Amino acid sequence: MRKVLIVTLILVLSLPLFFVSSQEDCGTRQECEALLQELEEQIKQISALEGATEQEIKTRQSQISAIRSRINQLDLQIRRSNIVIQDLGLQIQDTEGSIEATTVKIGEERQKLAQVLKTIYEEDQKSLLEVLLSESSLSVFFDNLMALENLDQRNSELLDDIKSLKAELEAQREKLDGERQSLTTQVKAQTLQKQESETARKEQEQLLRMNETQYKLYVQQRQLTEQRAAEIRARLFQLAGVPDVEAPTFGQALEMAQWVQQQTGVRPAFLLSIITQESALARNVGQCYLSDTSSGKTYNITTNREFRRGINPSRDLPRFLQITQELGRDPLRTPLSCWIDVGRGPNFGWGGAMGPAQFIPYTWMTIRDKVSSITGNTPANPWSVRDSFLAAGILLRDLGADFNEARAAARYFGASTPFPYSSTVMTRTRCMDTFISQGTLSDQCERLVFNP
pLDDT digits (tens, 9 = 90+) for 333-376: 899 999 887 656 566 789 999 999 999 999 999 999 999 999 88
Q: How far apart are the first and last CA of the chain?
A: 63
pLDDT in tens, 292-309: 999 999 988 777 789 999
pLDDT in tens, 369-399: 999 999 888 899 999 889 999 999 999 999 9
Instruction: Evaluate if residue 238 carries a pLDDT over 60.
Output: no
Q: What is the residue type of 119?
A: T
CATH of 2-238, one of 1.10.287.2610, 3.20.20.70, 3.40.50.720, 3.40.50.2000: 1.10.287.2610
CATH 1.10.287.2610 in the chain: give the residue spans. Answer: 2-238
By the 8 A CB rule, do 228 and 21 touch?
yes
Confidence of residue 154 (pLDDT cuts 50, 70, 90): low
pLDDT in tens, 103-129: 777 666 667 656 656 665 555 555 555
Confidence of residue 16 (pLDDT cuts 50, 70, 90): very low
DSSP string for 198-249 = HHHHHHHHHHHHHHHHHHHHHHHHHHHHHHHHHHHHHHHHHHTT----SS--
Residue 67, CA distances (Å) to 59, 79, 347 in order: 12, 18, 81
Instruction: Evaluate if residue 228 carries a pLDDT over 90.
Output: no
Q: Residue 363, CB half-sphere, CA atoms under 13 Å: how many? A: 21
Confidence of residue 445 (pLDDT cuts 50, 70, 90): confident
